[in-house]
A and B are shown apart, each in its own frame.
Chain A
Amino acid sequence: MAAAFIISAIVAALATLRVITASRAVHALLYLVVSLLAVAVVFYTLGAPFAAALEALVYAGAIMVLFIFVVMMMNLGEPAARRERQWMAPRTWAGPAVLALALLAELLALLWRATGPASGGEVGPGAVGALLFGPYLLAVELASLLLLAALVTAHHLGRSAGKEPDR
């Protein structure tokens, strides 16, 4: 299990690094899918098979498909990739890198202090479902409302996009 965790963690980190440095959107998306699947493995190794399944299905499946559709619709070709490379000058990375590293350092410092036994064991879908439709019912309802709102918004934005000019 530990070996699986380490391998998938390294894969996730490297894939993610490629996501944010790729110059082609499709490549980035594929790396992102890899990263998400690797995280799904991590979930599994953490004893959360339900979360791992959702990660693979919803994230790597549904959400990424959305991305792919959009990238396809925009038909980004070689010129876009060139522009991406042009935009990604080392100078551009300096500020974000500093910020990100600072944050990472802080988070690690916080993590360093954390102590406690690594207990755990597997938490199966049953437990999750019992909790989800028990104490967290309200959160579920709110999530459904959120999704509905997102649906309406996406529909509205997508529909009126071509019809009425902004001004």
Chain B
Amino acid sequence: MGVLAALIPVLPLLGFLMLFLAGARLGARGIAVVGVGSVGIAAGMALGLTAWFLASPVPVEVSAWTWMTVDGFAPRIGFRLDALSLIMVLVVTVIGVLIHLYSAEFMAGDEGYARYFASMNLFVAAMLVLVLAADLLLLYLGWEGVGLCSYLLIGFWYRDPANGRAARKAFIVTRIGDTAFAIGLLLLFTHLDTTDIQALMGRAQGQWPAGAPLAVAAAALLLGGAIGKSAQLPLQTWLPDAMAGPTPVSALIHAATMVTAGIYLIARTHALFDLAPAVRDAVGAIGAATLVLAAFSALSQTDLKRILAYSTISQIGYMVLALGVGAWASAIFHLMTHAFFKALLFLAAGVVIQRLHEEHDIFRMGGLRQRLPLVFWAFLIGASSLAALPLVTAGFYSKDLILWRAWSAGPFGRALWAAGILGTFLTGLYIFRAVFVVFLGPVRTPPRGGIGPAVAVPLVVLSVLALIGGFVETPDFFGGVPALTDFLAPVFPGPPPPGDPGGEAAASIFAALVALAGVFAAYVAYCRRPAMVATILRHPAAEAMRRCWAAGWGFDWLYDRLLVRPLVATARAGRADVIDAGFDALAAFCRQSHAMLSRWQTGQVRWYAAWIGAGTILTVAISVLA
């Protein structure tokens, strides 16, 4: 049965190959069947595997073959199925198949239909390789594979140069992180002599004491890879631009799965981060800073997809924060619920945007509640889950767990907790701002068309998941079902957190109140008194701040000045071939000398004779003077 684990990535890969090689001959229907079907079967297998794994929760390793053998370096094409990778596989395949199904209708009629599904299938395959890999090098293969697919799909509508630019930006910025990851990988291999993840972690714990410089360096490099892929400070600038791709792509790659690969990587190599407390604190700080900054940016966006993009950065910030306080399971928990509700939000937003003739500006939307009721409810559920409205939404449980674990992680954790609470308020504010502006109020742009079943089903299923997905892990004061934590316990061993039901309940209630306050603030600002925001923004300082937030805190501007322009200037200077100028000068010197000497060669015998005479005089003069 465990062999199935190795087969799961193969199916989407087969789908990719079919679509890639024969996409043009399949017809729209065939393309959809192959594209959705391959991921669908993979999802079915993943569910079957889950049932089997729950019955006997023992990690399974499947070695397909040895990739290469070079003097002790023998990475294998091996897959490891344990609780962590199983959850990731479930998230990737289940959400993957829902988004593929949605895409079948959403992308219908696009001239790149086959190319779209081929890329999406390749992405799913690469992502599954990433999460199932037993070897860090294989993981890196999947890591680069998803990066490639991300690039291909962001620039899917390649005729618009802006999309190509966005794709390149995403690729190049994440490449910075990928390079750090690759260096970290090589560092680990050179010092621990293996790339097998389990062996690597075991040897690291055996050979390096806590705080060992090598462990810190390796952890920091892996962290570099993670923040690149997961769009955390300071490499977050690519994600908002990545919204240039089709909306289902944003939902699958840039919200639910690929951007959480960094979380998975850190969780997978958590033993290493345990050895490097400094890096772990940095992880927490990065998460906290990112979640707050991105939340402010989300608050000031007018493009619906960019709101969600900044929201994604912010929510991943929560996960990173959780990793920073060692709450590995909570990070994975939030990863899961976030995948549900953010995919839902993106899919709902995709429908809205498409029905409004590719209108992205939320202030030209409005009153869609009656026109698109299903989408409204789906978006509302997603927004509630994102804002962590208490008790009924999945986001509440996961975010609450993170905040509680941060609170109970000492003084540094308290600081992180404060950032998280601020983020909670902002999250409620910005997402319900979108809800109120888009779905309530007057109709500004009338929608056209309806919703087919292929779009409706994923919305409904994801809505349900966004509501009930959190019940796998509930706090002590509300049911006390630590199912997910228990399930992940073999992967993340460690002492259980100190129980403090009273404190946890108080913290939860506080967080819930803060979230509700955010929602209420949005209600006041955008439903009751829309003039208030305009009044505030009339103040120059507020307007300047809004502009700063809307531009993502000016990181793009900073990088443009700091890196891009010097690089471009260097390239411009290099175009003139500065170094070549030296050689050109040499050539020119030779030519000049030649011209000069050949003018000497007059062809006149007497001239030559005169020089012979002069030479003779000189020679004799030497012997005379000697």
Q: A residues within 8 Å of B by Cβ?
A: 95-96, 99-100, 102-103, 106-107, 109-110
Contacts and interface: CB of A to CB of B under 8 A. Distances in A.
B617 A96 contact: no
Interface of B: 610, 613-614, 616-617, 620-621, 623-624
Contacts, number: 21
Q: In this complex, which of B616, B617, B623 has the most chain A Cβ atoms within 10 angstroms of its Cβ?
A: B617
B620 A106 contact: yes
Nearest to A107: B620
B610 A96 contact: yes
Contacts of A95: 610
21 contacts: A95-B610, A96-B610, A99-B610, A99-B613, A99-B614, A99-B617, A100-B613, A102-B617, A103-B613, A103-B616, A103-B617, A103-B620, A106-B617, A106-B620, A106-B621, A106-B624, A107-B620, A109-B624, A110-B620, A110-B623, A110-B624
Nearest to A109: B624
B603 to A, nearest CB: 16
Contacts of A106: 617, 620-621, 624
Contacts of B623: 110
A54 to B, nearest CB: 27
A109 B620 CA distance: 10
Contacts of A96: 610
Contacts of A99: 610, 613-614, 617
A112 to B, nearest CB: 10
B616 to A, nearest CB: 7
Nearest to B622: A106
A16 to B, nearest CB: 17
A16 B624 CA distance: 27
Contacts of B613: 99-100, 103
A96 B614 CA distance: 10
Contacts of B621: 106
Nearest to B611: A99
Determine chain A's interface SS by DSSP, over half rule.
helix
Given A96-B610, A106-B617, A110-B623, 6 more contacts: A95-B610, A99-B613, A99-B614, A100-B613, A109-B624, A110-B624
A103 B617 CA distance: 6
A95 B604 CA distance: 15
A88 to B, nearest CB: 13
Nearest to A95: B610
Contacts of A110: 620, 623-624
Contacts of B610: 95-96, 99
A95 B607 CA distance: 11
B613 to A, nearest CB: 5
A115 to B, nearest CB: 16
A71 to B, nearest CB: 20
A95 B614 CA distance: 11
A106 B613 CA distance: 12
Q: Which 9 A-B residue pairs are closest in the complex by CB-CB distance?
A: A106-B620, A99-B613, A109-B624, A102-B617, A106-B624, A103-B617, A106-B621, A110-B624, A106-B617
A89 to B, nearest CB: 15
A28 to B, nearest CB: 17
B19 to A, nearest CB: 74
A106 B625 CA distance: 10
Contacts of A102: 617
Contacts of A109: 624
Contacts of A100: 613
A107 B614 CA distance: 14
Nearest to A110: B624
B295 to A, nearest CB: 91
A102 B623 CA distance: 14
A102 B618 CA distance: 10
Q: In this complex, which of B614, B623, B624 has the most chain A Cβ atoms within 10 angstroms of its Cβ?
A: B624
A83 to B, nearest CB: 16
A102 B610 CA distance: 12
A116 to B, nearest CB: 18
B399 to A, nearest CB: 99
B610 to A, nearest CB: 7
A19 B214 CA distance: 98
A110 B614 CA distance: 17
A106 to B, nearest CB: 5
Contacts of B616: 103
A110 B620 CA distance: 9
A107 B613 CA distance: 13
A131 B623 CA distance: 32
B576 to A, nearest CB: 47
Contacts of B620: 103, 106-107, 110
Contacts of B617: 99, 102-103, 106
A154 B81 CA distance: 102
A71 B613 CA distance: 28
B192 to A, nearest CB: 82
A139 to B, nearest CB: 24
A95 B624 CA distance: 22
B624 to A, nearest CB: 5
Nearest to B606: A96
Contacts of B614: 99
A96 B609 CA distance: 10
A108 to B, nearest CB: 10
